[in-house]
Every structure is written in C-alpha cells, then in structure tokens.
Amino acid sequence: MNHAILQMVCFIAFAVVAVGAALAVVSVKNTVHAVLALVLTFFSAACLWMLAEAEFLALALVVVYVGAVMVLFLFVVMMLDIDLEPMREGFIKYLPIGIGAAVIMLLEMLGIIGIKTLQVPAGPNPAGMSNIEWLGTALFTHFLLPFEIAALILTVGLVAAVVLALRVRTFSRRQNPAAQSAVRAAGRVRMVKMAASTTAPGPTTVGEDSQA
C-alpha cells in the first residue's frame, strides 16, 4: 500500500462521512443530533482540507466553526425548547426547492472550479514556505483592503450582537468592584475613643467583696 492509495482511501472515507453527516443534518428528528451531525460534517471537511494540504484553513475551520459557531448553535437548539413535530411537517413540501437550490449551487461551484483550472496552474504552496506563512504573506501584502474590511465587519458584528441579543434587566443587583476596592476603613467604621476600663456598677463589686 503506497502513499497515494492511503491518501485516496482517507479522502473517500472523509468524503463519505461528510456527505452522510450532511444528510443526517436534514433528516434526523432530534435537533441536537442534527447539530452534532453538522459538527461531524465540519470536522470531516476540515480533514479533507488537510488532505489538500490547506493546513491553516483546516485547523481554522475546526477552531472557528466547530469550536465557536456550533457551540452557539448547540446553545440555541438545546435551550430554546423547540417543539420538534411541527418542524418536520414542511420537510416534504420544501424538498424540491431545497434540491433545486442545491443543484444550482453545485453548478456554480463546478463552474468556478472549471474556470479556475483553465486559467491558473494548480499548487498554491511555493517551496520552502509553510501554508500559514504563505497565507499570511498573501493576506498582508496583496489583500490589505479586504483584511481591513473584515475588521470592519467584525466590529459591525459586535454591535449587531449587542443590539439583537442584549436585554438589560430593569431590576438587578450588580456589584461595582471599583467601588468595592475603593472602600476604606474610615468610611465604614467609626472609631470611638473610650477609656480602657471603667469602674463597674455597684452589685458586682459587692459580690466580689463578699467572696473575698
């Protein structure tokens, strides 16, 4: 068994898992299972990218999509208490539309790949450079503007997240750590000067006297 065959076997295995998991996403009844199937799809896709020697993209896919986006999905799906049955009713009805959209997307992608193969010779990795270095160099020399636009989009995303999801409670008990640390003893405790000892009132003295 040589190296090329091993790669082919891995490719087929990951591809089958990716497609199978993608089918499971739209067909399983339990929404949490569906989200996990989507996680598996992403993970297999990352493995495929790794086989294509796109090291950074593969790991970034795991970090960003599996590690962050799908966690949000899981939060939403788990906690929203969705009633599962009505969600299933539209499945057959929308199936033709879904298949139509999928076919169009497939044609588009094939078109792009077809045009690309006509124009650019394959092999993005120049010799002696790791994938990440190559990507970084490209990103920070040729794609300056898109990079800054990405920053802008992220900032807009932050604002949008707050606008959409932030609900400030009207009644809440909240601590102010700055105020807590600023507290000094003088503000809380009043020191009172008193004599260390005072003469006790009558009866006790009498008792002690009688004992002695």
Q: Interface residues with another protein (CB under 8 A)?
A: 1-3, 5-7, 10, 30, 32-33, 36, 39, 47, 50-51, 53, 55-56, 59-60, 62-64, 66-69, 71-72, 74-76, 78-81, 125, 130-133, 135-137, 139-141, 144, 147-148, 150-152, 154-155, 157-159, 161-162, 165-169, 172-175, 177
Nearer to another protein, 83 or 209 (CB): 83
Q: What is the smallest separation between the CB atom of 19 and another protein, expressed in angstroms?
A: 19
Interatomic CA distance for residues 48 and 116, integer angstroms: 20
From 147, 122, 145, select the one nearest 136 (Cα to Cα): 147
Nearer to another protein, 16 or 64 (CB): 64
Q: Return all residues near 50 (Cβ < 8 A) that are at least 6 apart.
A: 58
Nearer to another protein, 7 or 205 (CB): 7
**For helices 31-51 and 70-79, what crossing angle results, to 10°?**
170
122: left (phi over 0), alpha (psi -120 to 50) or beta: beta
Q: What is the smallest separation between the CB atom of 189 and another protein, expressed in angstroms?
A: 24
Nearer to another protein, 22 or 28 (CB): 28
User: What sign does the CA torsion over 29, 32, 35, 39 have?
Assistant: negative
